[in-house]
Amino acid sequence: MAASNPSAWWDGLVIEADGSTATVALLNGSTVQLRIIVPAVGIAVGEPVAYHPVAGLLSTSAIVITARAIRQS
């Protein structure tokens, strides 16, 4: 899904993370709170990430994990 929709990635920075959720400040000015499906070890506040809402993926420099939006503002 992500490969067939490469323009759907949203870049941002992690502003909160606790292993089961992450809040990302997107570069477009909005924020999205994500539920991490598999506990994510190593997602740190301040880390640059990319979120693919169509495929439900969160990509960091080290891992790509499944993530679903809980709330977006």
Q: What are the residue boundaries of the structural domains of the chain, listed by start? A: 1-47
Angle at 6 between CA 14 and CA 33, to 5 degrees: 25
Over residues 22-42, the pLDDT tens digits come to 999 999 999 999 998 876 567
Question: Does an H or E element contain 69, and which?
Answer: strand 64-72
**How remote is the C-alpha of 19 from its chain's centroid?**
12
Query: Taking the model in full, what pTM does it have?
Result: 0.86
Over residues 40-70, the pLDDT tens digits come to 567 889 999 999 998 999 998 888 888 989 9
